[in-house]
Amino acid sequence: MLRLRQVKIEVTNDSLESLTKKVAKILNIKESNIKNLQIHKKSIDARNKNNILFVYEVDINIPNEEKILNKSKNINLIKTPNEEYIYPKMGKEKLTSKIIIVGSGPAGLFAGLMLAKKGYKPLIIERGSNIEKRVKEVETFWETGKLNKESNVQFGEGGAGTFSDGKLNTLIKDKRNLGRKVLEIFVEHGAPKEILYNANPHIGTDILRKVVINIREDIKKSGGEFLYNTKLTNLTIKDSKLESIEINNQEEIICHHLILAIGHSARDTFTMLKTKNIQMLAKPFAMGIRIMHDENLINTSIYGKYAKLLPPANYKLTYTTKSNRGVYTFCMCPGGYVVNASSEENHLAINGMSNHARNSGTSNSAIIVTVTPKDFGSDPLSGLIFQRTLENKAYDIGKGNIPAELYQDFKNNSPSSNLNNASYMFKGKYTLSNINDILPKFISDSLKEAIPYFGTKIKGFDNDNAVIAAIESRTSSPVRIVRDDLMESNIKGIYPIGEGAGYAGGITTSAIDGIKVAEQFIKKYTNN
């Protein structure tokens, strides 16, 4: 099989027939010689708004492949690489206790799935509820403001990404094609097949929930177990080795093999880990706001006359301020919602969320500003304290609701009197507020410097009627739990993974980290 890259098709003429004809023309062969054509990657080239193109990579079966490859001078024609995932060879050392996984976000679920498929029968404990119950609890919170501190947008089966846009792209170097394996697992468990080739794959919160349920059931079918509403509350450590864990402040379980897949919002768990002398470091992260625009404005600005022919537009914008502070958009949600993503009483955080169809009519994105230990202190938990301080201000200023205002009033340092003629979609109630009163001045100033620049890239981005909301504070973990090359912490038997531990930045990278830790166990231990 051969792979042909950089096959460009006009948006107005996009079809499998057109793609096949173009491939045949590029290779100077008959269409009938193409016995099979599979799309490996599909992206949009929107640099020229007068001629937006789909760009394909395709795998094809044709006669005399080696001969054609050797004769061709086309640098975009290569032999299709083998991207099949192969489990590592199983080790021989015996486990001294059951493998326990803390957290059922992507990192925990994928670690659990890979181990269960090889017969290790892991136990996954989750402080929140299962998906079915968790969705109801979150919807109740958005409607009434009644927060379940243990099961919410941050905590529960599926992790924080369950209430998001469901993006599955990753920017990490991935020579082993683990990202491809993650996408294949998603498809096996109910995700649409196009995520295997779309350049910016996403499935939306609605499909993601179904996929998580199917992965859970697959783990159980393979011998794994789940305990919900079960929080890790203590560790027993002897001679720098894990002996047991405590759950829900009452039950002790013998445990020498703990995969710590906690999310970045598990602040009480981080505090407990610090008391157990588990090595942690403060790390840079980013904080800021969400901005909302009419979806048609964004689509038209990016795609021009092709807007109605293309899926909802995505964007990623970056800027460096005069003071050398980084500002960038993050977790852009086409046709989505800004949601109340709080997990603590008297503290308010927001996030973005979209369904698979991305059809709410309003697009939103975080605009965040980099913060470092120089801003908040070098203690491992000082970043958490910084987050909590601003989230408490957001809660107070918003009177428990999402603080919101028009961009023109944010610039003028005054609260909005209304959001008339503006496009916005919230999950949870909002209160008109002065967001300048929430943010540190260096964040506000950085945003006011960056947003007009973003307006030069996307026409209308800095429109006075754009709606902003605060505070976007849970972009990534402010903590890194130190681990060695075998993914083990300074306490033997504890393996910190995923976004909460500071080693991932989204659903796919977290899932990849879960696969990697499962491989460490498989290479070392037998399942007998």
Token pair recorded at residue 74? 């086309």
pLDDT of residue 167 exceeding 90:
yes
d(CA 253, CA 145): 35
pLDDT (average), residues 508-523: 98
Residue bearing tokens 């998001």: 164
Q: Which residues on neighbouring strands pair with residue 36, listed in sequence order?
A: 61
pLDDT (average), residues 427-452: 98
Token pair recorded at residue 394? 């957001």
Q: Which of the four pLDDT bands, split at 50, 70 and 90, describes residue 175?
A: confident
d(CA 409, CA 432): 11
d(CA 331, CA 63): 44
Residues 6+ apart with CB under 8 A from 217: none
Other residues' Cβ atoms within 10 Å of the Cβ of residue 520: 19
What is the DSSP code (8-state) at residue 378?
S
| Torsion 404-407-410-415 (CA) sign | negative
Mode of pairing for the β-strands spanning 426-427 and 337-340: parallel
Strand, helix or coil at 230? coil
pLDDT of residue 171 exceeding 80:
no
Token pair recorded at residue 123? 């136990």
Calculate the alpha carbon distances from 162 to 65, 205, 292, 500, 506 in Å: 44, 6, 21, 15, 11
pLDDT in tens, 43-93: 999 999 999 999 999 999 999 999 999 988 899 999 999 999 999 999 999
pLDDT of residue 172 exceeding 90:
no
pLDDT in tens, 351-410: 999 999 999 999 999 999 999 999 999 999 999 999 999 999 999 999 999 999 999 999
113 closest CA partner among 182, 190, 179: 182
SS (H, E, C) 149-182: CCCCCCCCCCCHHHHCCCECCCCCCCCCCHHHHH
Domain boundaries, the chain: 2-79, 99-281+479-524, 284-472
Angle at 152 between CA 277 and CA 482, to 5 degrees: 25
* CATH class of the region 2-79: alpha beta
pLDDT (average), residues 209-228: 98
Full-prediction pTM beyond 0.85?
Answer: yes
Q: What pLDDT sits at residue 71? A: 87
Q: What pLDDT sits at residue 47? A: 92
Strand, helix or coil at 273? helix
pLDDT (average), residues 258-273: 97
Q: What pLDDT sits at residue 105? A: 97
DSSP state letters, 68-126:
HHHH---TTEEEPP-----PPPP--BPPSS-EEEE--SHHHHHHHHHHHHTT---EEE-
d(CA 186, CA 83): 16
pLDDT (average), residues 343-356: 98
What is the DSSP code (8-state) at residue 140?
H
pLDDT, the chain, mean: 96
d(CA 410, CA 17): 51
Q: What is the CATH number of domain 99-281+479-524?
A: 3.50.50.60
- Give burial (CB, 10 Å; 0-12/13-18/19+) of 49: middle
Q: What pLDDT sits at residue 317? A: 98
pLDDT of residue 174 exceeding 90:
no
The answer to whether 483 and 51 have CB atoms below 8 angstroms apart is no
Q: Do domains 2-79 and 99-281+479-524 have the same CATH topology?
A: no
pLDDT (average), residues 282-310: 97
H helix or E strand, kind and range, residue 513: helix 507-524
